[in-house]
Structure 1
Amino acid sequence: MTVIVRELRRGDRTDAEAFARIRHLALPFMLFTAESVAYDLEHAHPDSHYQPLLAEENGEPVGTAQVGVVYDSPESGQAYVNVYVHPERTGRGAGTLLARAAEERLSALDATRLHAWVLDEPGNRAFAEKHGYRSARSAHFLRLDLANGTLPPLQSPPPGVELRTAADFADDPRPLFHLDAETLLDEPSDVDREFTDYEAWLTETWRHPLLSHELTSVAVVDGRPAAFSAARTDGGTRYGTVMTGTARAFRGRALAKLAKNDSLHRARSAGFTEAFTGNDTGNGPMLAINKWFGYEICATEVKYVRDLG
């Protein structure tokens, strides 16, 4: 048995398909496609030094790692390494080699703190702790059966509120950039991030192949986007909301719930059968909203942290 680790090859469809396939098996609650994997590598911000890694056993892809620097954090030295191995190929050295290669790469980039998400399962947690990582916050993956579940009835917007989609902002998405940037500041996280680069947001978020402009709902008040629910799809039957939030000036009016309900109904009408989302375990308000929609917790991830040097 020979296990090696190498960089994912840019422009290589076979590599991208292998990466997406392994991630789907290890993390069926997240959306990955060969197109999204290739896009993330091709269009990553230069300061992120993003480089996915692939582990091969006797030439067969068996493991993956996402490796990069959190370039949009005001705190320097923050980096991430997320290792996931094919569920039937764990315990054979691929994970250790991926982690080691990622750490060497990030150390050379002067990273001082590494962040890694690990599924809340004994073997996964033991692997992280064995490699010197300590546990921190946690987050739930949630799933909703769109095909057979019962969604709350569609609601009419209150006076002065209009429901639109991201597609309505195709000519000028900057208002959505400002809304996304504001809501990000309140997202529970161990690493502060700031959206200040509009062009980077256009590349990494607005033009991302998984983002559905038609299913991303926006609540607009007096012509200003006030709340939104950003939707991604895998081009098949799986749909996910990756960010739902409200501008601070408009909170307390249930506008995020209104936008998400609108998006979910349109996703079901479009033929999507599964809906996924994720919430920090301490984000009680959003967990309550998702419970109201009918989501159920299907898995939990734990953030692990390791300081270098």
Structure 2
Amino acid sequence: MTVIVRELRPDAPADIEGFVRARHLALPYVHFSPASVLHGLTLSHPGAHARKLVAVADGEVVGTAQVGLVHDSPEPGQGTLNVYVDPAHTGRGAGALLVRVAEEHLAAHGATKLFTWVLDEPGNRAFAERRGYRAGRSAYFLRLDLAGAALPPPQDPPRGVEVRTAADFADDPRPLFELDAEAGSDEPGDVAVEFTDYEAWVDEYWRHPHLNADLTSVAVADGRPVAFSVAHTDGAGRYGTGMTGTARAHRGRGLAKLVKTHSLHRARAAGYTEAYTGNDAGNGPMLAINRWLGYEICATEVRYVRDIG
């Protein structure tokens, strides 16, 4: 079996479908669709030098890589590469070739530090460590059986707070951008990012093909959003949390729990049967909320980093 690595061709349906299929087989906890893959290709920032790569064997896409610089970080030279191979095709060189092409591309565009997520399985970790990557923080994928779980009942909001949806901000989502920028800057992580470009945020996040504004819950106080839980859906029973966050001045009031609970109840009423979310292992408060809601850890991934000259 000869494996080649090349750019994903956005005008080739077989490439897009192969990318989605291989990614789902390797990482079933995150939903990808042809629309979301094309969305990412179309909107990549020029400074990110982003590429989507495919490993092809006998005409079939067997592996994928998402590659780019973190253009919105205050620290230059940070690159990311996330490589996934169809489990039926591991051990045949596809992953190694994807990593090599990705690293060469990032180095050519000034990357000095490379970050990648690796599923916490012995073979995957050994693969990364053989290539000079060292392990860092961990994160969890969690799943909730929305159809069968006994969700805690929706809570009444604190005095002065009301629960609305992102659809209520359709005419002017800037307040949600400002909340996302503040809450996101405090998320645990290895790479600091700064949301400063409103129009880019609208294109990438507000217009994301999986965003469900009707199921995205927003806590509002004094006319401003102060907490939110972003809902992504696939239209076929699957719900995912894109982000849950609270403005600094309103933390400690249970608002993250409030908005996520309301969103999950609306999702179940709308017919969604399973929910997924991600959680940094060091984010104890959010992990406690997810466990209280009934989520169970279904997989762990480890952040690996490598310095390059």
Distance 1:161 1:26 in 2: 42
Kindly indicate whether the alpha-carbon contact (under 8 Å) linking 1:11 and 1:38 is maintained by their aligned counterparts in 2.
no
Show structure 1 runs of 5+ residues with no match: none
Offset, 1:160: 1.1
Residue number in structure 2 paired with 1:58? 58
SS at match of 2:51: coil
Deviations 1:254-287 (A, max 9, x none): 0111100010001111111110011111111111
Aligned to 1:214: 214
For residues 95-110 of structure 1, the aligned pairs below 5 Å read: 95-110=95-110
Alignment of 1:257 with 2:267, yes or no, is no
1:182-208 superposed Cα distances (whole Å, 9 cap, x missing partner) = 001110001011100101101111101
Q: What pairs up with 1:2-151 in 2 under 5 angstroms?
A: 2-151=2-151
The Cα of 1:21 is off from its aligned counterpart by: 1.1
Structure 1 vs Structure 2: percent identity of aligned residues? 69
Work out the CA distance in 2 between the residues paired with 1:211 and 1:13: 23
RMSD: 0.8
Quick one: distance in 2 between partners of 1:281 and 1:134? Answer: 17
Matched-pair contact (CA < 8 Å) for 1:10–1:42: no
Residue 248 of structure 1 corresponds to: 248
User: Quick one: which amino acid aligns to residue 190 of structure 1?
Assistant: D
User: Deviations along 1:79-136, whole A, 9 cap, x unmatched?
Assistant: 1000000011000000000000000110110111110000000000000011111111
For the residue of structure 2 that corresponds to 1:72, the secondary structure is coil
Alpha-carbon contact 1:16-1:35 (below 8 Å) kept: no
Is there any run of 5+ residues in structure 2 with no aligned partner, and where? none
Alpha-carbon displacement from aligned partner over 1:217-260 (angstroms, at most 9, x marks no partner): 00000101000001111221111112101000111110111100
C-alpha distance in structure 2 between counterparts of 1:118 and 1:283, whole Å: 19
Q: Aligned partners of 1:103, 1:132: CA distance in 2, in Å?
A: 12
Q: What SS class does the counterpart of residue 74 from structure 1 fall into?
A: coil
Conserved in 2, the CA contact under 8 Å of 1:52 and 1:65?
A: yes
2:54·2:62 contact (CA, 8 Å) conserved in 1?
A: yes
TM-superposed deviation, 1:158: 2.4
CA contact (8 A) 2:18 2:60 kept: no
- 1:33 maps to a residue whose letter is S
1:233: which partner in 2? 233
Larger CA deviation: 10-19 vs 198-207: 10-19
Shift, 1:11, TM fit? 3.1
- Indicate if the aligned counterparts of 1:219 and 1:255 stay in contact, CA closer than 8 A: yes
Alignment of 1:266-281 (within 5 A): 266-281=266-281
Q: TM-score, normalised by structure 1?
A: 0.99
Alignment of 1:188 with 2:178, yes or no, is no
For 1:36 and 1:195, how far apart are their aligned partners in 2?
A: 21
TM-score by length of 2: 0.99
Q: Is the 2:8–2:54 contact (alpha carbons within 8 Å) kept by the matching residues of 1?
A: yes
